[in-house]
Structure 1
Amino acid sequence: MEILLGAVLPAVLTIVIAYLLGSISFSIIFTKLFSHEDIREMGSGNAGTTNVLRSVGAKAAACTFIFDFAKGVLAVFIGKLIFQYFAAAYPLAGVPAWEFVQYGAYLAGALCVLGHDFPAFFGFKGGKGVLTSWSIILLIDWRTFLFVIIVFILMVLFTRMVSAGSISAGIAFPISTFLFNYLVDCVWKGSVSVTYCMISVIAAALLGGLLVWQHRGNIERLRNGTEKKLSVKKH
């Protein structure tokens, strides 16, 4: 009963809420509002901000950017609140409350990204989860966010390809999580447990791996030299 109330119930609640929230595809919604078309039938066919920018324009892309980022923030915030409540009401022996709440953040983030990539409200065909992943990383650990965003910006400036930056950021996520959570927090400071380090690195590897996998078509085009560079549709 302790495990059911303390761990399983908050996990189930977080999974359902975060996935449904992630399933609200704002690129599809704003493209419908601005152009009355389906973004998945335009440009690259991806329901993401970059394709909206190329195919619809800056206004629709800006709205998509803001709302996709915000839903990741909201999902993690809700996940933390749920796990925080259950940590106080039904504490698990041997699990520090702060670490338990962070598990809620990772779980909410992962399910929000899955919802974004495979939205229940739009035929399970969504985007690649870049912006939503950014917001999740920011709320989980600002140090990792800075590391990942710097990698992204440098790669985009160097290649002028958002896909190259996104792929590099996906690879950088688990690497930076290991550097900060294990080497800094666990080994140097001794402020977190080895268990938390392992779980956080595995979660980051899964999220980063999903981001890279969602760009498998871009990877093939990068290898062939046919990947498009960043552009904006002008009206």
Structure 2
Amino acid sequence: MSAFLYGVTLQWKLDIRSKSLLITCYVVPLLFFAVMGGIFTSINPEAKNTLIQSMTVLGVSTGALIGLPPSLVEIYGSDIKKVYKANGVPLYLGLISMFLSAFIHLLIMCAIIYIVAPIAFDAAPPASFPLYFGSLAVFIAASLSIGCVLGLSVKNQSKLTMISQVIFLPSIMLSGIMFPVALLPGFFKIAGKIFPATWGYDMMADDIFHFGSLWPLITILLTAAILCVLLLKRLQKT
């Protein structure tokens, strides 16, 4: 257990020095928040009621879908994987340590938005602190699980970037953070429910817990976990 905790701590420290993770987990989300927060609240004053949730969804999706997968490819698509196998280190250790490290980084980024938004843009904080951060934790885990599947299944960096963008862009556009989902055509409303961003936004924006928004995220998380196990077994054989 101590070795595992040491591995997670070491990975977290390495990620702090990683420019790609720094950009996708902190710089891009917080810069977008600083610029678009003022624009959103100026165009539509009602946006203050959901500014924290919308900027959080964008930041988590950016870090999980664009930041995490390339970091996994650096391990499982390179000679580092051979080092793991040669030294008897389980392949899942790298995946779990990066998952937990990214989880912590994204949680810190979301906490910054939570604290700064009411001060900088007079945004309304969520009504229930425990409910909000509980919902946020589930949303981060579900989003990172998809990033893990991408990082384990796609070995080519350029192809991975393209696939990540294909998932990231519609998940943001169809989630309701840019404009109300009610304005979307029926097909796009249904398509948006495939992505965790839609359910995460709904759950964090609600003042009351609704299981209807939780179970899709749990389903996505469990499905992705099963896929990760299968992908790791395939990598073990190569």
Same fold (TM over 0.5): no
TM-score tier by shorter-chain length is 0.3 to 0.5
What is the TM-score when the length of structure 1 is the normalising length? 0.43
Name the structure with the higher helix share. Answer: 2
What is the TM-score when the length of structure 2 is the normalising length? 0.43
